[in-house]
């Protein structure tokens, strides 16, 4: 029987025996706690051997994680380790790194002009980088955490429960397929991460928090780098307090070729602890109404409201050529208001430019001036771009009799409220017909129709 300090019991259990003497090593390989609080140890017929784990300590850092990384092994950080000026090379076959948690395990360096994680070279690149449960601090001048180049364009950059503490910069990631952060934190410093190249699979940062940022940095939390393009979505529900001059990201619509893929959902944004929802420096190059944006249920940040409104601002007759035949409702001028993910390809038309949502409420309030006692109808007509054909929305039809009022103003009132689906490049407009004769009709000013997502 061998008596070992209680603080060493976990090392003995998992084979972490590098601090023991030769005699102790030979004995602890097959020891297990005897049930007496683990102070005394007895022979174990089935000792636990973690053959695919490499334990990284301060004393062996340069020969383990700081040396040639074996991608078939899982590297475990046993404590807080000063990496000095030694960079960790993430091989083309990848790196798996974890710790106890971000309070007990970590990597840090105060060296200037230092990068913690690098690729062997740009042509060789790096593979999957998977990490969890540790803290990172790179605080030297002109230093950063990452400079990684994807070896194939199909690798992942994924982390769970990682804290970045007082980092000068998080650095640069090139051409990775996808990024994922879950439960990460950025605390202090100016932890800007620059994304370069084409990302095929998107980036998600979820259940994460940002606090204590530098009040002098103008570097965004996420930055668009060289030829940056996000082919899938960038999604976050972050809880973020920005520094005085700091944007959250400098992405623009050109970085997102697909509609509604910059997704800010259920976020909370403050600057210096205060809500400033009209602060254009949070997203200096994009707005919630832009086609790339899908901002929903945010606090301290604007939201996206897909749809728009088109109103008659100048009257003009709609010529009725034939009794009971539909004509496009005419106006001398239409005013389009608050078009979000919509445009107007022609006067009196509203076209959906996006892919999401598809389901919309459509409404209209129209006052038609025409021949007294004439029966007139209005309805919506839809262009279905995928079918390259018009769809007659007969269910939207309303028919009214023009009131034969005293004086020169004989009018009928229409109020339509219903729904439809609109895919990309589908559009709507209003039609009118006279069921009684060929007397012309005029839509009065302030008549309008509106489209809004359900």
pLDDT at 20: 47
pLDDT at 34: 58
The pLDDT > 90 percentage for the chain reads 87
pLDDT at 254: 97
Q: 156-167 and 115-118: which strand pairing?
A: unpaired
Q: What is the CATH number of domain 307-453?
A: 2.60.120.40
The structural domains of the chain, with segments of one domain joined by +, span: 2-43, 53-296, 307-453
Query: Is the pLDDT at 47 greater than 90, yes or no?
Result: no
Query: Is the pLDDT at 231 greater than 60, yes or no?
Result: yes
pLDDT at 43: 57
pLDDT at 368: 97
Structure tokens at 61: 């850092």
* CA 3 vs CA 13, 28, 31, 49, 285: distances in Å: 14, 10, 11, 21, 65
Please classify residue 64 by burial: count the beta carbons closer than 10 Å to its beta carbon, then call 0-12 exposed, 13-18 middle and 19+ buried. Answer: buried
CB 434 within 8 Å of CB 320: yes
Task: Supply φ then ψ for residue 301, to 5 degrees.
Answer: -155, 145
Give the pLDDT confidence of 413-449 residue by residue, as tens digits.
999 999 999 999 999 999 999 999 999 999 999 999 9
Q: Is the model more confident about 71 or about 12?
A: 71
Query: Is the Cα torsion angle 295, 299, 302, 308 positive or negative in sign?
Result: positive
pLDDT at 404: 84
- Say how far apart CA 418 and CA 217 lie, in whole Å: 50
- What is the DSSP secondary structure assignment for residue 280, as one 8-state letter? T
Which of 7-16, 64-73, 230-239, 378-387 shows the lowest per-residue confidence on average (mean pLDDT)? 7-16
Give the pLDDT confidence of 190-210 residue by residue, as tens digits.
999 999 999 999 999 999 999
Mean pLDDT of the chain: 92
Residue 134, phi-psi category: left (phi > 0), alpha (psi -120 to 50), beta (remainder): beta
Give the pLDDT confidence of 317-341 residue by residue, as tens digits.
999 999 999 999 999 999 999 999 9
When pLDDT is cut at 50, 70 and 90, the band that residue 35 belongs to is low
What residues contact 272, with CB distance under 8 A and at least 6 apart? Answer: 215, 241, 242, 243, 244
Mean pLDDT across 177-187: 98
Give the pLDDT confidence of 272-322 residue by residue, as tens digits.
999 999 999 999 999 999 999 999 999 999 999 999 999 999 999 999 999
Mean pLDDT across 121-142: 98
């Amino acid at each position: 029987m061998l008596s070992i300090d209680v603080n060493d019991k976990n090392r003995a259990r998992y084979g972490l025996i590098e601090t023991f003497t030769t005699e102790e090593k030979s004995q602890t390989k097959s020891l297990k706690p005897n049930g007496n609080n683990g102070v005394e140890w007895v022979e174990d017929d089935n000792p636990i051997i973690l053959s695919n784990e490499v334990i990284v300590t301060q004393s062996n850092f340069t020969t383990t994680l700081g040396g040639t990384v074996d991608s078939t092994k899982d590297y475990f950080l046993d404590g807080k380790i000063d990496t000095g000026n030694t960079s960790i090379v993430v091989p083309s076959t990848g790196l798996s790194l974890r710790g106890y948690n971000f309070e007990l395990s970590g990597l840090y360096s105060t060296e200037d002009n230092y990068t913690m994680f690098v690729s062997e070279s740009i042509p060789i690149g790096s593979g999957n980088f998977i990490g969890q449960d540790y803290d990172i601090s790179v605080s030297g001048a002109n230093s950063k955490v990452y400079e990684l180049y994807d070896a194939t364009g199909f690798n992942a950059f994924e982390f769970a429960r990682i804290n970045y503490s007082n980092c000068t910069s998080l650095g640069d990631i090139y051409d990775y397929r996808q990024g994922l952060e879950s439960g990460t934190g950025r605390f202090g410093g100016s932890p800007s991460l620059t994304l370069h190249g084409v990302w095929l699979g998107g980036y998600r940062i979820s259940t994460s928090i940002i606090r204590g940022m530098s009040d002098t940095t103008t570097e965004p939390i996420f930055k668009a780098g060289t030829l940056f393009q996000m082919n899938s979505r960038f999604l976050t529900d972050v809880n973020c307090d920005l520094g005085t001059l700091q944007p959250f990201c400098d992405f623009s619509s050109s970085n997102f070729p697909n509609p509604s893929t910059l997704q800010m959902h259920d976020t909370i944004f403050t600057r210096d602890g205060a809500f400033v929802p009209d602060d254009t420096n949070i997203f200096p190059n994009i707005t919630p109404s832009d086609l790339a944006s899908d901002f929903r249920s945010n606090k301290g940040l604007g939201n996206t409201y897909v749809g728009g409104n088109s109103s008659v601002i100048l009257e003009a007759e709609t010529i009725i050529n034939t009794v009971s035949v539909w004509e496009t409702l005419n106006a001398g001028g239409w005013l389009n208001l608050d078009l979000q993910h919509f445009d107007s390809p022609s006067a009196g038309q509203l076209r959906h430019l996006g892919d999401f949502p598809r389901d919309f409420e459509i409404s209209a309030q129209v006052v038609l001036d025409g021949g007294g006692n004439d029966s007139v109808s209005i309805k919506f007509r839809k262009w279905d771009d995928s079918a390259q054909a018009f769809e007659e929305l007969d269910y939207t039809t309303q028919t009214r009799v023009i009131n034969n009022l005293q004086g020169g103003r004989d009018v009928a009132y229409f109020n339509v409220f219903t729904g439809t689906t609109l895919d990309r490049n589908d559009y709507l407009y209003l039609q009118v017909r006279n069921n009684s004769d060929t007397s012309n009709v005029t839509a009065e000013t302030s008549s309008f129709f509106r489209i809004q997502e359900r």
